[in-house]
Amino acid sequence: MADAQWWRTAAIYQIYIRSFADSDGDGIGDIAGIRSRLGYLAQLGVDAIWITPWYASPNNDGGYDVRDYRAIDPTYGDLREAELLIGEAHQHGLRVILDVVPNHTSTDHPWFQAALVAPPGSPERARYHFVDGRGSGGELPPNDWRSTFGGSAWQRVTEVDGEPGQWYLHLFDPSQADLNWSHPEVHREFLDILRFWFDRGVDGFRIDVATGLVKHPGYPDLGYREEDLLVLTNVPDHPHRDRDGVHAIYRDWRRLAGEYDPPRIFVAEAWVADSERLARYVAPGQLHTTFNFPFLQSAWDAGELSSVIESTLHAMSRVGAPPTWVLSNHDVERTVTRYGRADTRKQPGRSGHELGPVDIELGRRRARAAILLMLALPGVAYLYQGEELGLPDHMDIPVDRIQDPIWTRSGGRRRGRDGCRVPLPWTLDPKGAGFGSADPWLPQPHGWETHSVQSQLDDPTSTYHLVARALRIRRSLDPAPELEWVVRSDSVLRFRRGPALECIVNFGATEVPVPAGAVPLLRSDTIDVTPDPIGPDTAAWLRPRG
């Protein structure tokens, strides 16, 4: 664990804790569940885990509504167990990245509770965005900003005298109140929270809504309707996204991370379309890495993917940050489902049948090829739990079981993100598929156990074995060589990474021959190490002819 530069080339596995493994049978994943599967993750061959929020929370938004940043939610375990997990992960050679949620707290947080009973203009209210409404009696929201989950981004409170009063800002659910980052106490508190976890051996943080912390102090109208923040934007002087002020915050955070040995690291959740703006987050003295959402959002299309790869490499090398790659996470449809649609681009907040039919076999073939493409690229790769199993989304969650606040906030127009958050299948048990309980918090689709780890370990052709083999080869190669294009056409992407690896991805309808003399290493369509031509929607790794 000595390499301080590990974060430049790591393969990082995202654990959505609620759905990973349930040790006590209450239907919800937990820390003990993660501890029991560390061997699995080490065996798979990833270098680090990122665990989604595990803090004390009313869980209106999967834990992204934090009540206490220094306590573990009792459904997941306790602090002692968290410390055990961190130590055990390290023993398995796995680094641990947590999720910090600085844009908002739960409205159950003591600060917000204090603000509710304090008068307008009080120091308690100054830590959030409490603003008088418009209209003669303040009955209209202060401006036209919208919540990502639907409706106005403002909620009116009842003052202690029982009268309707000020409004507070929530760019997400009304139970997630935006913090006021122009308040010094907010800065101090988050530095202290980071220290609390760094002192316990945590290796880094993913920063939730990293672009959102600073708001325009005058709260001007946006002038148009914007429903979803989890889409790429590039709006100059936007009143609450990607404002210049956020960078001062991250310079402080970077300084703090650098005080540790080895230095701790950050990855920003930044939905920014312009790669130059994105590069500002990872400029010298700022964050280490940022998610590459243009890559995740791309269609299954050679031209689109190769231009994202090019612009990423260019923008990141200019600032000395490693490129990163991600195809799925807990907020978007899984690639197996998305790539099986007629339109393979990511669709914000929408999922399931509302987006039309899916050819799962086609989607899985493409998803397997996409994983080989991603793992052949230089830099950091993220895998979302279940991606190594080729899981599809659950398309038919009954509406009375939907948990995502997007469903209610959109008045039942958008089903939200539950389809990609279904509890993992570990065994062939038809009841609960070995997740840990027969009736998990989100229902699993019929036949889920056929995708299980158990069945895939026994099947050498499985997506699990493909990913494990790819990770093993990736680890054995020199991570340094840059990407060098050999072919960049509408139907084929072919590139080299030094003398040891060439990757060919066929996006077209006809077969592509394997170059003469190249040594086959791995294929997305077959376990055979074969020089056969590469079929449509298939990727191959080769050692180029010397």
Binding stretches for ligand GLC (CB under 6 A): 61-62, 64, 101, 172, 208-209, 230, 269, 330-331
Is 192 labeled as catalytic in the residue annotation? no
Q: How far is the CB of 63 from ligand GLC (least distance, A)?
A: 9
Q: How far is the CB of 172 from ligand GLC (least distance, A)?
A: 4
Beta strands in 16-152 (DSSP E): 48-51, 55-56, 68-72, 95-100, 104-106, 130-131
Identify the three-state secondary structure at position 478: coil
350: Cβ contacts below 8 Å, ≥ 6 apart: 414, 415
Q: How far is the CB of 278 from ligand GLC (least distance, A)?
A: 16
Residue 47 or 331 with smaller CB distance to ligand GLC: 331
* Partner residues linked to 178 by β-bridges: 104
Q: Are 537 and 506 in contact (CB under 8 A)?
A: yes
Residue 27 or 62 with smaller CB distance to ligand GLC: 62
Q: Give the C-alpha separation, 108 to 180, whole Å.
A: 17
Determine the residue with CB nearest ligand GLC: 64
DSSP string, 163-221: SEEEEEE-SS-TTEEEB-TTSHHHHHHHHHHHHHHHTTT--EEEETTTT-S---TT---
Q: How far is the CB of 69 from ligand GLC (least distance, A)?
A: 13
Q: How far is the CB of 61 from ligand GLC (least distance, A)?
A: 5
Of the residues 208, 228, 387, 418, which is catalytic? 208
Residue 8 or 338 with smaller CB distance to ligand GLC: 338
Residue 154 or 172 with smaller CB distance to ligand GLC: 172
Residue 172 or 541 with smaller CB distance to ligand GLC: 172
Q: How far is the CB of 131 from ligand GLC (least distance, A)?
A: 21
CA neighbours closer than 13 Å in the CB half-sphere of residue 281: 29
Q: What DSSP state is assigned to residue 127?
A: G
Q: Give the C-alpha separation, 537 to 369, whole Å.
A: 7
Helix (H), strand (E) at residue 494: strand 492-497
Residue 54 or 64 with smaller CB distance to ligand GLC: 64
Residue 54 or 426 with smaller CB distance to ligand GLC: 54
Identify the three-state secondary structure at position 90: helix
* Partner residues linked to 207 by β-bridges: 100, 268
DSSP string, 227-247: --SSS-B--TT-SSSS-TTHH
Which of 525, 511, 466, 512 shows the shortest CA–CA distance to 486? Answer: 512
Alpha-carbon distances of 277 from 226, 280, 290, 344, rounded to whole Å: 20, 5, 11, 26
Alpha-carbon distances of 468 from 386, 461, 472, rounded to whole Å: 13, 11, 6
Query: What angle do helix axes 463-476 and 360-376 make, rounded to 10 degrees?
Result: 10
Of the residues 47, 269, 393, 449, which is catalytic? 269
Q: How far is the CB of 508 from ligand GLC (least distance, A)?
A: 34
Q: How far is the CB of 7 from ligand GLC (least distance, A)?
A: 20
510: Cβ contacts below 8 Å, ≥ 6 apart: 491, 536
Residue 52 or 75 with smaller CB distance to ligand GLC: 52
Q: Are 99 and 110 in contact (CB under 8 A)?
A: no
Q: Give the C-alpha separation, 133 to 127, whole Å.
A: 18
Q: Give the C-alpha separation, 218 to 176, whole Å.
A: 21
Q: How far is the CB of 143 from ligand GLC (least distance, A)?
A: 20
Largest Cα separation within the chain, whole Å, is 82
Residue 200 exposed, middle or buried by CB count within 10 Å (0-12, 13-18, 19+): middle
Q: How far is the CB of 330 from ligand GLC (least distance, A)?
A: 6
Is 163 labeled as catalytic in the residue annotation? no
Alpha-carbon distances of 219 from 100, 102, 151, 168, 172, rounded to whole Å: 25, 19, 17, 12, 17
Residue 228 or 449 with smaller CB distance to ligand GLC: 228
Amino acid at 485: W
Residue 95 or 421 with smaller CB distance to ligand GLC: 421
- How many CB atoms within 10 Å of residue 284? 9
Q: Which residues are catalytic?
A: 208, 269
